[in-house]
Amino acid sequence: MNGIKLIATGSALPGRAVTNDELTKIVDTSDEWISTRTGIRSRRWCAGGESHTSLCLAAARQALERAGAKPAEVGVCLVATLTPDFLTPAAACVLQKELGLPEDTVCFDLNAACSGFVYALHTAQCLLSAAPRKLGLVLGAEVLSRVTDFTDRGTCVLFGDGAGAAVVEWRADYPSLHAVLGCRGNDEALFIPGVHTGGEPHIHMDGQAVFRFAVEALPRCVRQVLDRAGLGLEDVDRFVFHQANQRIIDFAVKKLGADPARCTGNIARTGNTSAASVPLLLDELVSAGELRSGQRALCVGFGGGLTWAGALLEMA
């Protein structure tokens, strides 16, 4: 068997925290509605000189430093995102330049919305098996405040900005991620028009339709990953679920019969950061010592596409 393990993580959140009370000045909402319907209490939005690039760079540098790895050791660099600074060059190409990654590093961005980071982990595992250097730099990063419709109270209270990074290593004796990836093409439940599509370049979402999809996809993904790995819920040290809505997570935890203490998240402070959500939470858990060497995290993303992705990631 061959696969990847997590060596180190990093993260970057913008300096500006926006509370629910602050949002009541923009749209007709309340702290009570937002916190009880979603679990969100505040989120971070980029301001001043902060950008997708600055968040990616900070998160990537921190992860490399904590891994004790040099840029010259990286063979694959992937950024999962739907809000890069440029359509081209890719955010991963900007990282290649700024970090000084070798020119034969495979660098590209990947858009699988909120499932993007887990899609990218699996893609990195596949690419690293054939790469000359076995370290991968995998990021999930978003500046969703850029594509938020601040007149739509149904969406603008949900989203936040941030970047999370992971340094992973491929080895022939490391376990597979046992990844489960999927897509059910749907351009109505959740979409952002492209620059040439016409229409407002904002997040459009049928919240209830996505909610129904999410509460079915999340527990199904967990079960499928565990089946592939031949493991049970008790073999997982931490569940790292996309932070879309606390109610979605609570529903899935109950349906699965998982230990809620192993499923805690950070949505109260970050909001929904799409592709950044899983790596931001991973970094919080690793930094807090809640995910340690030899332990397993079952990561699941779900969202726009509609897409879903689950993978079992072990800490080196």
For ligand UT7, the binding residues (CB under 6 A) are 29, 33-34, 37-38, 114, 153-154, 157, 190, 207-208, 210-211, 214, 244-245, 248, 272, 274, 303
In 3D, which of 274, 288, 273 has the Cα closest to residue 18?
Answer: 273
Q: Please, what's the largest Cα pairwise distance for the chain?
A: 55
How buried is 33 (Cβ within 10 angstroms: 0-12 exposed, 13-18 middle, 19+ buried)? Answer: middle
Which amino acid, residue 184? R
From the CB of 12, what's the least distance to ligand UT7, in Å?
20
Nearer to ligand UT7, 72 or 183 (CB): 183
Annotated active-site residue in 20, 111, 245, 272: 272
111 in catalytic set: no
Distance (Å, rounded) from C-alpha 18 to C-alpha 24?
Answer: 11
Annotated active-site residue in 77, 114, 156, 221: 114
H or E stretch including 227? Answer: helix 207-229
H or E stretch including 167? Answer: strand 161-171
From the CB of 167, what's the least distance to ligand UT7, in Å?
25
Nearer to ligand UT7, 56 or 203 (CB): 203
Q: Cis peptide leading into 89, omega within 30 of 0?
A: yes
From the CB of 239, what's the least distance to ligand UT7, in Å?
16
H or E stretch including 285? Answer: helix 277-287
Annotated active-site residue in 242, 245, 263, 299: 242
Nearer to ligand UT7, 125 or 145 (CB): 145
From the CB of 185, what's the least distance to ligand UT7, in Å?
15
**Alpha-carbon 108 to chain mean position:** 16
272 in catalytic set: yes
From the CB of 117, what's the least distance to ligand UT7, in Å?
12
The tokens for 57 are 């760079």
How buried is 297 (Cβ within 10 angstroms: 0-12 exposed, 13-18 middle, 19+ buried)? Answer: buried
Dihedrals φ, ψ of 170, to 5°? -95, 135
Nearer to ligand UT7, 38 or 270 (CB): 38
Number of residue whose CB is nearest ligand UT7: 207
Nearer to ligand UT7, 174 or 213 (CB): 213
The residues annotated as belonging to the active site are: 114, 242, 272
